[in-house]
């Protein structure tokens, strides 16, 4: 593109279709001459030709020379001078409207790009953007000034050549966000965020930021610096070097317990905040392992009963004969084997706080009637007792069963269902919010590594892709179990695809190759789930050295459930 004397504008034959459109918009022109390297005219680029190219789906990065040739051959006409054609009036009107739309779209794109560049350059924090290969695509003025480089010297280079001790390229590979980390640049400890950019289930880049503001963040930063200082002192005493990266998580409370940015979970968090303000009964539904107890604790901790006790009972894990005694307590000598002096029930233990009734759908019908009476009268009567005791308890129930169907089938009391179903919160399965998987992995990896006192591990891009694409039938509970297994079994600091349990990747090709026949899909899926669960149980037993109680804990299920599955799978 050249602008000569008298504001003569031309377009080079090797320039792109996009550059041609931008040139016409910038100068308010309807056509421009296309020239070769010697300045000789080789054709004329017009808005009509650009519209023709757009209509035929041509790539905006094609050269003008290629478009001229295609337009001449397929368009049936060359790029004629204005006035030599007399197109049909309707076609001309449509073409004019489309040209105007394209012109407005290009102008809006240019304005948006200029606005974003202004925002980036006006920011006090340093901001850098890399693509999927870790190559710097954008860096703002603040970061350039801090690094002492020019923007043009950074663009197009790998981020490791531009920023010291960076992990942005690792963030791109793993897809795991790293917030509030300490990074040394020119010997100065800096606080950074590294945030992957996801599109269509894949990481296409990452944003790196130098962060200096926000009161709560400053406190967190100060705490992490103290942790680094203590760790460095301890390492010096032991004669070993301090680790390069340290990240500590504070004990989250309320809705902060729930790790997610998915719109569905954001809506759930809003419901939890609203539900916490009132004493109404809450019913939480969702598949096993979706975090129903975490949501229940969040409601308790965000409400006025936060200082009271949070008592949990699994209605499916206690035999029917003992469930009443567990819930309501019993008097001295109420039955054979009863503890001397009696025992308070869960309702009494939760007085002034919250009682979480997990797996309420498995409660026997006879017990449901007694539960309804307690909810309505707010009094409990111990087994073997003669008088009731008033209790002030907030009830949160949870189930993975379809209670409405159970009501219709007569296996769950309708009156109890309506008494529980005042505020309904549904937790979606993990397969419906796959964008949360990297953040959940990062959170639980950090938490478990700190709990076990081991060095943190990172994931290769291939390993993370397997974890994100897996369907997770056991939801978050299964994910946490896999992370715990990886922490225990992988020796190195980086987890590769081959380190993952075999069933995580083996199940994917089978699922992809299944035909679209309903019965066949169901049979194959059951077979894969059967095999997957069997392998997980076998791995847990190996990791627990045959200790069934420990294996059940690792699997996140009750010991009685494990015994049933061992019998089912022939162990």
Residue 529, pLDDT score: 57
Secondary structure of 483-551 in the HEC alphabet? HHHHHHHCCCCEECHHHCCHHHHHHHHHHHCCCCCHHHHHHHHHHHHHHHHHHHHHHHHHHCCCCHHHH
pLDDT at 26: 79
For residue 551, what are the contacts with CB-CB under 8 A and spacing of at least 6? Answer: 537, 540, 541, 543, 544, 562
Residue 78: band (very low, low, confident or very high) from pLDDT cuts 50, 70, 90: very low
Binned at pLDDT 50, 70 and 90, residue 16 comes out as confident
- Following CA atoms 512, 513, 515, 520 in sequence, which dihedral angle do they give, to the nearest 10 degrees? -90
CA atoms within 13 A on the CB side of 341: 1
Contact criterion met (CB below 8 Å) for 272 and 294: no
Looking at the predicted structure, is the pLDDT value of residue 224 above 70? no
Contact predicate 449/457, CB 8 Å? yes
Note the pLDDT tens digit of each residue in 488-524: 888 888 889 888 888 886 644 333 333 333 344 445 4
Helix or strand holding residue 433 (H, E): none
- Using alpha carbons, select from 265, 256, 201, 291 the residue that is nearest to residue 475: 291
At 88, is the secondary structure helix, strand, or coil? coil
Quote the CA–CA distance of 138 and 156 in Å, as a whole number: 9
Closest residue by Cα to residue 375 from 506, 508, 281, 303: 281
d(C-alpha 276, C-alpha 425), whole Å: 12
Query: Are 228 and 203 within 8 A, CB to CB?
Result: no
**pLDDT over 80 at 96, yes or no:** no
User: Tell me, what's the pLDDT at 411?
Assistant: 92
Residues in the chain: 571
- Spell out the residues 6+ positions from residue 400 whose beta carbon is closer than 8 angstroms to its own: 285, 286, 287, 288, 292, 359, 361
Angle between the 17-27 and 89-122 helix axes, to the nearest 10 degrees? 90
Sign of CA dihedral 250, 251, 256, 257: positive
The answer to whether 511 and 471 are in contact (CB under 8 A) is: yes
SS3 content of the chain, % helix, strand, coil (to 5): 50, 15, 35
469 neighbors 463 (Cβ within 8 angstroms):
no
State residue 520's pLDDT score.
Answer: 45
313-348 residue pLDDT tens:
999 888 887 888 889 888 776 666 666 767 888 999
Distance CA 265, CA 257 (A): 12
What is the per-residue pLDDT for 261? 76
Contacts of 119 (CB under 8 A, 6+ apart): none
Question: Tell me, what's the pLDDT at 387?
Answer: 80
Tens digit of each residue's pLDDT (9 = 90 or more) over 408-427 = 999 999 999 999 999 999 99
Going along the chain from its start, the domains and CATH numbers come out as: 10-74 (3.10.580.10), 123-216 (3.30.450.20), 257-428 (3.40.50.300), 434-569 (1.10.8.60)
What span, in angstroms and rounded, lies between the C-alpha atoms of 498 and 493? 14
pLDDT of amino acid 266? 82
User: Does the pTM of the predicted model rise above 0.85?
Assistant: no
**Average pLDDT for the chain:** 79
The DSSP call for residue 61 is: T
Task: Write the CB contacts of 558 (distance below 8 Å, at least 6 apart in sequence).
Answer: 314, 316, 317, 552
pLDDT digits (tens, 9 = 90+) for 280-307: 999 999 999 899 999 999 999 988 999 9
Q: Return d(Cα 462, Cα 468) in angstroms, integer.
A: 10
Q: Is residue 75's pLDDT more than 70?
A: no
Count of CB atoms within 10 A of residue 491's CB? 6
Q: DSSP letter string over 451-473?
A: HHT----EE-HHHHHHHHHS--T
Cβ neighbours of residue 356 closer than 8 Å, sequence gap 6 or more: 293, 296, 297, 300, 310, 311, 312, 313, 396, 397, 398
Q: pLDDT, tens digit, for every residue of 453-487?
A: 888 888 888 888 889 888 898 899 999 999 998 98
The SS3 call for residue 194 is strand
- How far, in Å, CA of 343 to CA of 333, rounded? 11
Question: In terms of C-beta density within 10 A (0-12 exposed, 13-18 middle, 19 or more buried), how is residue 382 classed?
Answer: buried
Query: What pLDDT was estimated at residue 285?
Result: 94
């Amino acid at each position: 593109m050249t602008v000569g004397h008298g504001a003569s504008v031309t377009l080079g034959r090797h320039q792109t279709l996009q550059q041609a459109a931008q040139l016409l918009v910038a100068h308010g022109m309807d056509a421009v001459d296309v020239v070769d390297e010697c300045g000789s005219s080789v054709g004329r680029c017009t808005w009509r030709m650009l519209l023709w190219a757009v209509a035929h789906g041509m790539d905006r990065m094609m050269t003008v020379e290629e478009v001229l040739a295609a337009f001449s051959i397929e368009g049936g006409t060359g790029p004629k001078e204005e006035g030599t054609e007399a197109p049909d009036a309707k076609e001309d009107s449509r073409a004019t409207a489309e040209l105007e739309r394209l012109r407005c779209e290009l102008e809006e794109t240019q304005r948006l790009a200029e606005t974003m560049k202004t925002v980036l350059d006006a920011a006090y924090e340093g901001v850098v953007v890399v693509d999927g290969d870790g190559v710097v695509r954008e860096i703002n003025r603040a970061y350039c000034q801090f690094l002492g480089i020019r923007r043009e010297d950074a663009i197009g280079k790998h981020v490791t050549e531009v920023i010291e001790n960076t992990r942005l390229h690792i963030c791109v590979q793993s897809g795991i966000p790293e917030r509030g980390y300490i990074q040394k640049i020119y010997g100065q400890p800096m606080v950074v965020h590294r945030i992957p950019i996801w599109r269509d289930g894949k990481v296409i880049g990452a944003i790196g930021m130098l962060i200096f503001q926000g009161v709560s963040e400053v406190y967190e930063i100060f705490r992490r610096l103290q942790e680094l200082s203590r760790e460095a002192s301890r390492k010096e005493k032991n004669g070993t070097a301090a680790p390069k990266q340290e990240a500590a998580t504070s004990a989250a409370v309320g809705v902060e317990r729930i790790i997610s940015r998915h719109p569905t979970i954001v809506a759930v968090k809003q419901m939890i905040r609203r539900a916490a303000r009132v004493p109404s009964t809450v019913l939480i539904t969702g598949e096993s392992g979706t975090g129903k107890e975490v949501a229940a604790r969040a409601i308790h901790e965000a409400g006025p009963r936060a200082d009271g006790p949070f008592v949990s009972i699994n209605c499916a894990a206690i035999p029917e004969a003992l469930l009443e005694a567990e819930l309501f307590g019993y008097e001295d000598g109420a039955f054979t084997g009863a503890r001397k002096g009696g025992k308070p029930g869960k309702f009494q233990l939760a007085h002034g706080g919250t009682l979480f009734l997990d797996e309420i759908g498995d409660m026997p019908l006879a017990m449901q009637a007694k539960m309804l009476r307690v909810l309505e009268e707010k009094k409990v009567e111990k087994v073997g007792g003669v008088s009731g005791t008033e209790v002030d308890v907030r009830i949160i129930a949870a189930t993975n069963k379809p209670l409405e169907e159970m009501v219709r089938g007569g296996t769950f009391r309708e009156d109890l269902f309506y008494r529980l179903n005042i505020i309904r919160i549904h937790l979606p399965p993990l397969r419906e919010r796959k964008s949360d998987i990297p953040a959940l992995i990062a959170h639980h990896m950090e938490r478990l590594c700190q709990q076990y006192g081991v060095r943190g591990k990172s994931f290769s891009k291939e390993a993370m892709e397997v974890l994100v694409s897996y369907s997770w039938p056991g939801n978050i509970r299964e994910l946490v179990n896999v992370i715990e297994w990886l922490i225990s079994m992988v020796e190195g600091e980086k987890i590769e695809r081959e380190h993952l349990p075999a069933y995580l990747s083996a199940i994917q090709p089978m699922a992809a190759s299944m035909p679209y026949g309903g019965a066949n899909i169901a049979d194959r899926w059951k077979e894969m789930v059967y095999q997957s669960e069997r392998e997980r149980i076998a791995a847990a037993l190996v990791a627990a050295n045959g200790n069934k109680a420990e294996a059940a804990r690792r699997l996140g299920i009750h010991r009685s459930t494990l015994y049933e599955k061992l019998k089912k799978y022939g162990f």
